[in-house]
């Protein structure tokens, strides 16, 4: 993968958004029944907002995947929408709220793996900082006598590891 994506946050937010959408649909269904009996004013279009909230959570989850460098913004929006989903989409039957909430938090706290070349020294079993691993490489290649690159520990003539 070329860029590092908070995959778990993305998946949880996406599924959460789908549940919130289902919650909005359920509320829309209830609203339709109430309207049929002349009581449509009771919910007064809550479900439309609920459906919008579900769609937005899904959109922000997808943005989290395609623009992970803005993960904090997407995560925060997903968290806000998960809370908003309570009055407008029954909290996505609670499951949607919970998944989107956790997904948003995971997106914000996600730390991409460090790939900085300056930190290439392995940490394990090497308490001495700046000390090369194992014995120092020989000055000349034992196979062909060529010059050895001390950084990569390879012969510059034949490429052999020394």
Q: Which is nearer to Zn ion, 153 or 160 (CB)?
A: 160
In the list 86, 146, 153, 154, the residue contacting Zn ion (rule: CB under 5 A) is: 146
- Supply the minimum distance, in Å, between the C-beta of residue 134 and Zn ion: 19
- The DSSP 8-state label assigned to residue 154 in this structure reads E
- Supply the minimum distance, in Å, between the C-beta of residue 144 and Zn ion: 3
In the list 46, 47, 63, 155, the residue contacting Zn ion (rule: CB under 5 A) is: 155
| Consecutive H or E run containing 76 | helix 71-89
Contacts for 13 with CB less than 8 Å, ≥ 6 apart: 57, 60, 61, 64, 78, 99, 100, 103, 104, 107
Cα-trace Rg, the chain: 27
CB atoms closer than 10 angstroms to residue 36:
9
In the list 141, 151, 153, 161, the residue contacting Zn ion (rule: CB under 5 A) is: 141
Q: Is 156 in the site for Zn ion (CB under 5 A)?
A: no
In the list 66, 70, 158, 161, the residue contacting Zn ion (rule: CB under 5 A) is: 158
86 within 8 A of 49, measured Cβ to Cβ: no
**How many residues contact Zn ion, by CB under 5 A?**
8
Residues at the contact surface with Zn ion, assessed by CB under 5 A: 141, 143-144, 146, 155, 157-158, 160
């Amino acid at each position: 993968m070329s860029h590092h994506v908070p995959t778990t946050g993305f998946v949880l937010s996406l599924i959460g958004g789908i549940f919130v959408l289902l919650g909005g649909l359920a509320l829309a269904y209830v609203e339709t029944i109430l309207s049929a009996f002349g009581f449509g004013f009771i919910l007064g279009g809550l479900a439309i907002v609920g459906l919008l909230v579900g769609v937005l959570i899904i959109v922000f989850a997808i943005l989290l995947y395609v623009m992970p460098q803005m993960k904090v913004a997407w995560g925060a929006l997903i968290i806000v929408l998960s809370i908003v989903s309570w009055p407008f989409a029954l909290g996505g039957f609670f499951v949607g709220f919970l998944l989107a909430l956790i997904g948003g938090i995971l997106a914000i706290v996600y730390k991409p793996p460090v790939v900085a070349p300056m930190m290439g020294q392995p940490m394990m079993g090497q308490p001495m900082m700046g000390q090369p691993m194992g014995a120092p490489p020989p000055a000349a290649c034992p196979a062909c006598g060529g010059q050895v690159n001390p950084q990569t520990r390879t012969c510059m003539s034949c490429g052999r590891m020394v």
